[in-house]
Amino acid sequence: MSEFWIYFQIGLKHVLDIHAYDHVLFLIALTVPYAFKDWQRLFVLVSIFTIGHTMALLLSVLDIVIIKVNVVEVLIPVSILITAVFNLFTAGKSGKSERVNLVFFVTLFFGIIHGLGFSNYFKSILGGTASSKIIPLAEFALGIEAAQLIVVFVVLVASYIVQTVFRFSKRDWALVLSAFIIGVVLPMIIESEIWIR
């Protein structure tokens, strides 16, 4: 197997790992207010995440930025919580330009935080000089992007089915999924090691 596919698959599995569902929860919270007609906006948001993730991972792998793991571990569910709570307050309302601005920054923030959280593992599988880490990192980023687009597509299909077959309104669907996500991430925040001293 070529080196490209190795790092691409690591990126793909990083997002689609059933045990690391925080990434998928964030993508669900990010996608649920949108429909297929909003695909361009969603593609931009997903790419913003990948850019933030890759920048943070690069800075961490090169030892430019170092952050404590327990801080990152609590910031990841906090960013998911912010996105889901924002959905509760904006579900069914217009003003998408304002929404995109806030979601843009939360998405970038989540990408940066998640990249920092993954950096220790990524450092362990990389070796060599700084320049030799750039290409594997780019290959990994492409895997992340592909996996995120898969998750977004699945959420959009599920949204379409729920709204057309089961007659859920777009607003109710966003509220139900966002409330579910909040119920999952609150215990993650409360049980975080950062509170134990």
Cα–Cα distance for residue pair 48/27, rounded to 1 Å: 12
Please name which of 122, 115, 25 lies closest in space to residue 72, comparing C-alpha atoms: 115
The pLDDT tens digits for 99-132 are 557 778 878 988 999 888 888 778 777 765 555 7
Cα–Cα distance for residue pair 159/156, rounded to 1 Å: 5
154-171 burial, b if ≥16 CB within 10 A, otherwise e?
ebbeebeebeeeeebebe
The pLDDT tens digits for 141-176 are 999 999 999 999 999 999 999 999 999 999 999 999
Q: Are 178 and 29 in contact (CB under 8 A)?
A: yes
How many other CB atoms sit within 10 Å of the CB of residue 134?
13
pTM > 0.95: yes or no: no
Distance spanning both ends of the chain, measured CA to CA: 46
